[in-house]
Amino acid sequence: MSCPKTRHLMTEYFDDRLPSVARTEIERHLEVCEHCAAELEELSALKDTLEGWEEQRVPHWDRGTTVFRNAHGKVSGIGGGWTWQWLPTAATFVMFVLLAFNVSISSNDSGFTVAFGEVGELFEQAQLEQQLANFASMQQQQQEQDLQLFMAQMAERLDNNYLRLMQAVMEQARELTAENFEQIYTYFEQQRQLDMETVQVSYEQLLDSDFETLRSMEQLANYVQFQGQLR
């Protein structure tokens, strides 16, 4: 005994998304239709049999890793050679940095000193200016000392001269006659010339001292310029 609804009901029955209204209707029919119920029972048993498939283990294979490695060999194979490939570029970069930033490396007793371009130059320049200032200060002190010494010598020399002059005047005053006036005048004239010579000598000494200072400054400036050219 067959049922005209069997095919339609069975095709719909295995749909998991079948609306609940339709499913209820099918269930109701299955309760009253033996043929459809028997068909469903057999098909469900078959479905259960098929669902009894046990997962088989995959035979050993390389999982495509050989193909994968070969294809990516150019990427992953670089590995060890990578460093060497980029070494010239890295060296060029280091040289560029050294030149661009004017890096200077100097070593002394306390170790290495690395100075970067402008910063190092500025630092060195500041140091030089400090040294020059110290030198100028020392020169000034020296000049002041020299001048004081010179003035003391001048004063002493003039004092001696005038003392001798006064003594001579006092001697001459005792026997002051008209003809002695000329001698006194001559004597004064001699003293004046002597003083002038003394002042001239002193002035020359002062000039010499200044000249020395100027030469020292010039030498120092030349030295600084030379150092600059070296770098």
Partner 1 sequence: MAFIDEDESLVAAALAGSTPAWEKLVRRYESRIYNYGLRLTGNGSDAMDLTQDVFLGVFRNLHRFRGDARFSSWIFRIAHNKAMDLNRRKALLQGQSFNNEESQDFASRIADPNRAAEPEQRLALTQQNRQIQKLLQQLPLEQRLAVELKIYQSMTFDEIAQAQEISENTAKTRFYTALRKLKTTLEESHVLS
Contact residues for partner 1, defined by CB under 8 A: 7, 10-12, 14-17, 42-43, 46-47, 49-59, 61, 63-65, 67-69, 71-72, 75-76
Looking at beta carbons only, is 17 or 174 nearer to partner 1? Answer: 17
Looking at beta carbons only, is 53 or 84 nearer to partner 1? Answer: 53
Q: For 61-95, b where at least 16 C-beta lie within 10 A, e where not — what string? A: eeeeeeeeeeeeeeeeeeeeeeeeeeeeeeeeeee
Looking at beta carbons only, is 13 or 120 nearer to partner 1? Answer: 13
Minimum CB distance to partner 1, residue 16 (Å):
6
Which residues are CB-contacts of 220 (< 8 A; sequence separation ≥ 6)? 132, 135
Query: Which DSSP category does 231 fall into?
Result: -
Query: Which DSSP category does 110 fall into?
Result: T
Minimum CB distance to partner 1, residue 81 (Å):
15
Minimum CB distance to partner 1, residue 67 (Å):
6
Minimum CB distance to partner 1, residue 88 (Å):
25
Alpha-carbon span 170 to 71, nearest angstrom: 125
Looking at beta carbons only, is 54 or 171 nearer to partner 1? Answer: 54
Alpha-carbon span 69 to 190, nearest angstrom: 115
**C-alpha to C-alpha distances, 141 to 23, 68, 148, 203, nearest whole angstrom:** 118, 85, 11, 19
Looking at beta carbons only, is 12 or 124 nearer to partner 1? Answer: 12
Minimum CB distance to partner 1, residue 72 (Å):
4
